Amino acid sequence: MGAYTEISAAIKDASKAIQKSKDSDLRQKAIDLQGIAMNLNMENSDLKHQIEILKGQLAEKNQMALNKKSLCRFQSFWVSDEATRDQIEAHGTPIDRDFLAHIYCPKCLVERNQLVPVNGYGSKENRLYQLMCPVCQYSEYIEFNI
């Protein structure tokens, strides 16, 4: 049985005994005590919810820290790892969406401490390919040797 359930049961028992009493001040105090117990229960529930949110945020930060350790440079941008960088360079333009998900904005990484995947614009015929951050709008053209 949880602490709230035990407290609530004790208050109900006391309230029943107090209802038999003719003391109206004592009855009011019992009602006030029930209200306090309900407020404490709601606050406890809210705090448990906040703890779950914070646990999720901490897990995300820990995952981001792990991801940052494997980052490597791809021209002025960052990519998730060396193998991905090599695949992007071998593939050329246009950069596949699967690869774009692993190319990160250098400005957001430094200024916001966030790994933000970029968008890519260009064509197969063009050696220049534009990468743009959807968050901060940082943009740069990269060149491929076709």
Average pLDDT over every residue of 106-135: 84
User: pTM of the full predicted structure?
Assistant: 0.53
Q: In this structure, are strands 72-74 and 128-132 parallel, antiparallel, or unpaired?
A: unpaired
- Is the CB of residue 110 less than 8 Å from the CB of residue 123? no
Q: What are phi and psi of 80, to 5 degrees?
A: -60, -35
In this model, does residue 138 exceed pLDDT 70?
Answer: yes
Q: Could you report the per-residue pLDDT of 39-98, keeping only the tens digit for each?
A: 888 898 899 889 888 777 766 775 666 577 788 888 889 998 888 888 888 877 677 778
